[in-house]
Structure 1
């Protein structure tokens, strides 16, 4: 009688444990597919952070160079934003991909 009770309890705990494991893996709010999806999203966002930090450093470097010199400021405005003086015309020569030849 005691052996049957122990075997029943062992089977019960094994079955309960398997059910709990299946529930936590597939049906819970923090299930395995959600965790994997969040992990990939985290890595994508971390790579975006690296990209934007590099861009910020590049822009800060350009800004320091441009605001330090009036001639560079004018050159920067002409090249980047195609600004011009009142009495002149600006022509931009592009290639077959509609990209400017000079960068």
Structure 2
């Protein structure tokens, strides 16, 4: 039986069975296992995205709460109705001024 003699200094540690098993185990755990590093990295990035969404929605909730507080007063509700729905009081005239650049044309549509 002739054994192959490995003379390379890089492959010399892989002659030891324990080191070879350790390397195979490390590669398996990093790339192929159900709890691999790749899956953990993907899950961590998903968690970061969800945290960003959570922060965004918290800011939106705060903005909406401020708008609700504004609309809960009589003055705020009247201002909203006048600006959005062009409502008016009796014996009051409303003039809507539209500028040329704010008008929709056929080219804009």
- Fold conserved (TM > 0.5)? yes
Q: Does 1:17 align with 2:22?
A: yes
Q: Does 1:71 align with 2:75?
A: yes
Q: Highest relative contact order (Cα 8 Å, sep 6+), 1 or 2?
A: 1
Number of positions where the alignment pairs a residue of Structure 1 with one of Structure 2: 85
Give ranges in structure 2 of 5+ residues lacking alignment.
Answer: 1-14, 88-92, 105-109
How many angstroms apart in 2 are the aligned matches of 1:17 and 1:25? 12
Secondary structure of residue in 1 paired with 2:42: helix
Which structure is higher in helix share? Answer: 1
TM-score by length of 1: 0.62
Query: Deviation digits for residues 10-55 of structure 1, max 9, x if unmatched?
Result: 8222111111111111101121221111111111111111111111
* Aligned counterpart, 2:85: 83
Give ranges in structure 1 of 5+ residues lacking alignment.
Answer: 1-9, 99-103
How many angstroms apart in 2 are the aligned matches of 1:77 and 1:35? 52
Relative to structure 1, the CA distance from residue 93 to residue 28 in structure 2 (aligned partners, 3 Å threshold; closer, same or farther) is: farther
* Aligned counterpart, 1:53: 58
* Aligned counterpart, 1:101: none
Relative to structure 1, the CA distance from residue 47 to residue 17 in structure 2 (aligned partners, 3 Å threshold; closer, same or farther) is: same
Aligned residues: CA RMSD? 3.2
> Which of 34, 41, 58 lines up with 2:39 in the alignment?
34
* Aligned counterpart, 1:44: 49
Could you list the structure 1 runs, at least 4 aligned residues long, displaced by more than 2 angstroms after superposition: 74-79, 82-85, 91-96
TM-score by length of 2: 0.59
